């Protein structure tokens, strides 16, 4: 993190911070840095900033730093922070919103795996109405150039009858309706 | 006879199939009618809510609308916590924003009205009447079995959304069920700590560390097994236990049965029919302990 003119940053990015507040329904300006969110967060050991620091940085308008952070992608959405926040801030929803904004701004350095996983997951749901485990894993592995990832579980899973030997996806009856939900949601989002 | 719409969710068709087997067997033995939601679709889970807000509500809303077509059903259960929270989120958000219902329905073929409500899955067993019924049907008490009840995140957190009736930090509903079976629920501090299942693919090291913490604390608390109520947590702690053991050079061999499997076991049902053979960590020692 280089030198930052906090006053200017705040002015420049006020609209972004207001949008986060609007989108999440949580007034982050109410945060008084008790750090309970960070105390309970199971992912802090892998983060570059603590959750309470992310909130403070947002309040100071440090939008680029927040969107480029590793923290927002380490967050596993367990909602412990939201549950414990004494100021009623939905910290997990803020993280969710920041992830979407990071993608929109093209800050995806720490997000490659999560984006590949989410997109593959949703693609199987759109195609067949339900998750297609085996297909999802294979495509995810190709996208992340790690073909043997999790393959050690394939045989034990088959032996327990939990996955077929030759995985074939089956579409649900209303798959066309599900496809429409995806298409319409995409239009709305534009 | 209580009747519920059942939303199995994608995991109960694959890695969590013993959860569905035991749920059906136990419901049958207790005279609870479960009707599978016709043509149910995936709830979108965390992938949808990380991607698009409206999509993340419309997918579960469609499944709820499908449940509304079942005659005589007013409540739906989702044994998977990751699914449960998405349905609860639909009800919570629709209740908070007036125009959201219309927006969601503009994406759906058949409208979602909200007439079928989501009910926390554990509650259909832990409510006082059913609990008394379970107690009266115990033929193989799980005497001496020490159980760490693991609730995970999404049945209990965040409480405002999850519509859970129990304490998000120290829930007791599953513990009460386990007590009714004659087993001994151990007090332990990791009941609702995250196991990292949502990141098992994307940041495996983080996930492995969280699993190790949970397994270690359960073991240190004297547990013979961890009872799970979410197929994501269960598969994470069960299937990936071997990864944890390798990485940390430890030997847990801690069986991770679903709480419904333990209910069935105590009610004298056949362990095979309850899917005990489907578990990755061999539960033989644990079954021996209760004479099954």
pLDDT digit string (tens) for A130-144? 999 889 999 999 999
Per-residue pLDDT tens digits for B81-118: 999 999 999 999 999 999 999 999 999 999 999 999 99
Contact predicate B174/B165, CB 8 Å:
no
List C-alpha distances in Å: A100 to A95, A185, B90, B154.
9, 15, 20, 21
A133 in reach of chain B (CB within 8 A):
yes
Place A29 in a pLDDT band, splitting at 50, 70 and 90.
very high
Which pLDDT score is estimated for A166? 85
Place A1 in a pLDDT band, splitting at 50, 70 and 90.
low
Question: Do residue A10 and residue A99 come from a single domain?
Answer: yes
Q: Which of A86, A91, A130 to mutate to test the interface with B (most CBs of B within 10 A)?
A: A130
For residue A170, the chain B residues in CB contact (below 8 A) are none
Place A6 in a pLDDT band, splitting at 50, 70 and 90.
confident
Q: Out of A82, A181, A189, whose CB is closest to B62? A: A181
- The answer to whether position A1 is within a domain reads no
Q: What is the DSSP string of chain A?
A: -----HHHHHHHHHHHHHHHHHHHT--GGG-----HHHHH-TTGGG-SS-HHHHHHHHHTT-HHHHHT-SHHHH-----HHHHH-TT---HHHHHHHHHHHHHHHT--TTTHHHHHHHHHHHHHHHHHSS--HHHHHHHHHHHTT-TTTTGGGHHHHHHTTSS-SS------TTHHHHHHHHHHHHHHH-
- The answer to whether position A64 is within a domain reads yes
Question: Do residue B112 and residue B146 come from a single domain?
Answer: no
Q: Which of A160, A173, A186 to mutate to test the interface with B (most CBs of B within 10 A)?
A: A160
Which pLDDT score is estimated for A12? 80
Which structural domain, as residue segments, surrounds residue A137? 112-189
- For range A67-79, the mean pLDDT: 97
Number of domains in chain A: 2
Question: What would you report as the CA-atom Rg of chain B, rounded to the nearest whole angstrom?
Answer: 19
| Domain end marker among B71, B90, B118 | B118
Cα separation, A53 vs A33, whole angstroms? 8
Which pLDDT score is estimated for B278? 97
Can you give the pTM of this predicted structure?
A: 0.96
Which structural domain, as residue segments, surrounds residue B114? 3-118
Question: Do residue A92 and residue A118 come from a single domain?
Answer: no
Taking CB atoms and an 8 Å limit, are A184 and B106 in contact across chains?
yes
Taking CB atoms and an 8 Å limit, are B50 and A114 in contact across chains?
yes
- Residue A176 pLDDT more than 60? yes
Low-confidence ranges of chain B (pLDDT < 70): none
Give the tokens for residue B92: 């919570």
- Residue A190 pLDDT more than 70? no
ipTM (interface predicted TM): 0.94
Find tokens 């995936």 and name the residue: B42
Question: Do residue B84 and residue B178 come from a single domain?
Answer: no
């Amino acid at each position: 993190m280089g030198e930052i003119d906090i006053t200017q940053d705040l002015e420049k990015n006020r609209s972004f911070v207001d949008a986060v507040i609007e989108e999440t329904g949580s007034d982050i300006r109410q945060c008084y840095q008790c750090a309970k969110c960070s105390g309970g967060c199971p992912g802090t050991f892998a983060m570059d900033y603590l959750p309470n620091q992310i909130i403070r940085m947002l309040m100071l308008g440090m939008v680029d730093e927040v969107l480029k952070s590793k923290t927002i992608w380490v967050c596993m959405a367990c909602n412990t922070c939201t549950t414990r926040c004494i100021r009623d801030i939905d910290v997990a929803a803020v993280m969710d919103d920041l992830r979407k904004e990071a993608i929109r701004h093209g800050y995806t350095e720490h997000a490659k795996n999560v984006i590949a996983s989410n997109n593959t997951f949703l693609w199987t749901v759109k195609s067949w109405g339900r998750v297609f485990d085996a297909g999802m894993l294979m495509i995810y592995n190709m996208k992340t150039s790690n073909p043997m990832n999790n393959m050690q579980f394939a045989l034990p899973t088959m032996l327990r009858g939990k996955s077929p030997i030759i995985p074939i996806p089956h579409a649900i009856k209303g798959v066309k309706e599900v496809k429409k939900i995806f298409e319409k949601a995409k239009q709305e989002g534009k | 006879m209580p009747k519920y719409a059942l939303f199995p969710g994608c995991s109960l068709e694959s890695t969590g199939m013993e959860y569905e087997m035991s749920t059906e067997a136990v419901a049958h033995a207790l005279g609870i009618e479960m009707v599978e939601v016709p043509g149910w679709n995936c709830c979108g889970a965390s992938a949808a809510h990380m991607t698009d807000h409206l999509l993340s509500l419309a997918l579960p809303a469609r499944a709820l609308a499908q449940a509304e077509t079942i005659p005589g059903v007013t409540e739906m259960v989702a044994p998977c916590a990751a699914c449960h929270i998405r349905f609860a989120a639909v009800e919570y958000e629709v209740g908070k924003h007036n125009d959201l219902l219309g927006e969601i329905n503009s994406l759906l073929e058949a409208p979602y009205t909200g007439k079928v409500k989501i009910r926390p899955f554990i509650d259909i067993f832990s409510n006082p009447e059913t609990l008394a019924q379970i107690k009266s049907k115990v033929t193989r008490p799980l005497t001496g079995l020490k159980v760490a009840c693991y609730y995970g995140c999404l049945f209990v957190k965040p409480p405002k959304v999850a519509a859970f009736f129990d304490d998000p930090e120290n829930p007791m509903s599953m513990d009460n069920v386990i007590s009714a079976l004659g087993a001994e629920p151990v007090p332990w501090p990791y009941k609702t700590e995250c196991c990292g299942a949502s990141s098992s693919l994307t940041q495996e090291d983080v996930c492995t560390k969280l699993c190790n913490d949970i397994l270690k604390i359960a073991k240190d608390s004297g547990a013979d097994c961890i009872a799970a109520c979410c197929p994501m947590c269960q598969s994470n702690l069960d299937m990936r236990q071997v990864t944890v053991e390798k990485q940390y050079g430890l030997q847990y061999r801690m069986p991770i049965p679903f709480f419904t499997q333990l209910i069935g076991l105590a009610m004298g049902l056949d362990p095979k029919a309850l899917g005990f053979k489907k578990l990755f960590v061999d539960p033989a020692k644990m079954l021996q302990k209760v004479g099954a």
